[in-house]
A and B are shown apart, each in its own frame.
Chain A
Amino acid sequence: MANAALSIKNLHVSYYGNEAVKEVSLTVHPGNLVGIIGPNGAGKSTFLKAMLNLIPRDKGEIKLLGKTVKEVRKKIAYVPQRNDIDWDFPITVLDAVLIGTYPNLKLFKRPNKKDKEWAMECLRRVGMEDFSKRQIGELSGGQQQRVFLARALAQKAELFFLDEPFVGVDVSSEETIVRILKELCWQGKTVIVVHHDLSKANDYFNQLILLNKELIGFGSVQEVFQTEIIEKAYQGQFAFMKEIGV
């Protein structure tokens, strides 16, 4: 049997002794488009960063493609939250995408013409080729997100991790992004997305990880997208919504 794309055993993460992620175990197989959903402060981004070894974990084992994170780093593409980026940075759209080729370049090597053509090709896939010479801050939110998706494509990765890619994004960019993520999954890649909004979760993903510090639900969208399970994760916030008569 092929290796699982992602397998997590008994993951615990804390900030200064406060538990942020508690006892999470799950296995995702290649070719899935997985949404991580949960209320504010549920530890979604923390969970994502812990999976990539970007923050220390207290306990637990993480295997990506059957190996440790360290061994497969170059097969991982990570797209940060949009407000983690300095959009005034002096860099053009094409150069930002070109960074996606860096993980596969040797030390001291610069991207060559072929790499630049590949970066341009990735920009074309997200429909941003006409903007290649713009400074990244001159783009709209949706266009910026598409550029970062192009950068992830340029990495030729097997695993894609995206943190809140649909925040502040226009409808047409959103459609483009979802279409490309689905294409990646058809090609057998695995895509993990932190998603804030419940409304479209069942259209976008085929699997869901429902998180509120601990794992509330995991499985196909049909299995997890049940009122009782969702309410369990969003307990406090749902009560509040009822009070104000939503």
Chain B
Amino acid sequence: MADKNVIRKEDAVVRFAGDSGDGMQLSGTLFSDTSALDGNDIATFPDYPAEIRAPHNTIAGVSGFQVHIGKKIYSSGDKADVLVCMNPASLKSNLKWARVGATIIVDLDTFTEDAIAKAGYESSPLDDDSLSNYNVVKAPITTLTVEAVKDIFTDRKSALRCRNMFALGMIFFIFGKTTNHADDYLQTKFKNKPEVIEANQKVIRAGFNYCENVDVQETTLPRVDVETAEMPKGKYRNITGNIATAWGLLAAAEKAHLPLFLGSYPITPATDIMVELAKRKSLGAKVFQAEDEIAGICSAIGASFAGNMACTSTSGPGLSLKSEALGLAVMAELPLVVIDVQRGGPSTGLPTKTEQADLNQALFGRNGEAPCIVVAPSSSANCFNWAFEAARLALETMTPTIMLSDAYLGNGSQLFRIPKMSDFPEIHPPFATPNDPEYQPYRRDPKTLVRQWAIPGMDGLRHRIGGLEKTDGKGAVSTDNLNHEKMVHYRKEKIDRLADRLPLQEVSGDEDADLLVVGWGGTAGALKNAVSELRQEGKKVAYTHFHYISPLPKNTGDILKKYKKIVVCELNMGQFVNYLRMNFQGILFHQYNKVQGLPFEVSELKEQFNKILGE
């Protein structure tokens, strides 16, 4: 684009907002996929209500989809450069996500007295100066959509279903994108409904042409050329964290040469993992939709005892229900992968919003001394690697392993460089040898303290285990006091010793930093951006992000002792910082916490870091 009116930018954020049924997720996905195919790096994040179809035109019914495109993208972005609002309610609830000066596209036709009132406005925000800090484009989207398809649809209802495509067409114009990918998508999706394909394609073009022809172009509509990514060579795809998690588990099962068993119960925002695995019977995945969360994990424990790679997926309330059974898996020392896609809590809380407040539950939420391995992915794409790693650790150490994903990672999407399975290690569970005369259920490897896995059906290894305390070695039920203490220590020590076999924690940024920023889990994108921007501004900052939570990497203490100031940032009230305080006494930690069901914004992080640096 050589046009002098075109602004060149490193990145841009577009937010689509409308009623739940307005198809905003689809517009957003088509825009992000188009951008990715065009060479941009991308990240997306859906922001949808807990209700499937809340009353029309109300705030409760607003659904959003944010797309961040650019040269190097770590997160779905802070504030939108372009905000699409399909009705007054979406403007009312999404204005706070638009940066000052942003372009706001509204469907003028929807600003009726009734809809304005339903959104909670006293009068139309388009008629006063409340939007004077923004570049508002008042497009008659409904009228023009109906007009565009009048030869195809005689009923208004069918015509209105295409409104999201008009908005998409306008966004394509602004960002100089072609309609090729959207056309292909519509062709495949509606291959038996040619009229729907034609209508949607017409409407996309109508949106595009509207921008080109109408005088909004000169006066208010920006044209943006977003820089393409400098990505390593390779084959890419777009992937959500939940799909990446499901695939990571399948990958681990393949490398362990075991069938994958998933016992789960649907729960937002984790359900997609189960939905995806249920499709994968051709890869040997066995998905059991249990009658409840407890049956989900208990069936997985049974499957693990019987020799499958067993998993259960859930969110916070489900993890609570699984607590007792998780303790059983700790006691039985069976491999089990628990995926917790965290959401806002406590209780039902904010089912569709993100939070990192299940850390304490994952670390401590069981009766007795019941340590598990805990890991956390940090991006939608690396959910693949961390699900693989969680399964590897569970299988090789015969210990239940919890992976703490979250709604932001799980529902969000990212470009994913497609790996080759030949680059992943084989997984070696410690199987017992049939007819081994020395076999004892709780005989441990002296170095790792890991017991062996004897599978029902194997000759000469019949044994009974369960939730009662075991005799060291032999595994028979024991109530002996000293034996109990010894076994409690073994279960803890087994996890501590795992740290010897894990990679060391890495730190990026300035060697002589004045501030070490610490994060874990799904916040990496915003933290990375904030640190990088501060360093560009000349501040001396270092950054370390934890994926291994229990056990912590061996050099954690050494790292923490090196820096003058440390700030631990997390989307809870300080669960990780308190875990660090517990483990590394005498170190002063600052903390920055947010519990709004939302990811961090780069701007708030920078502000916070500057404040600490200035103290």
Partners in one complex: no
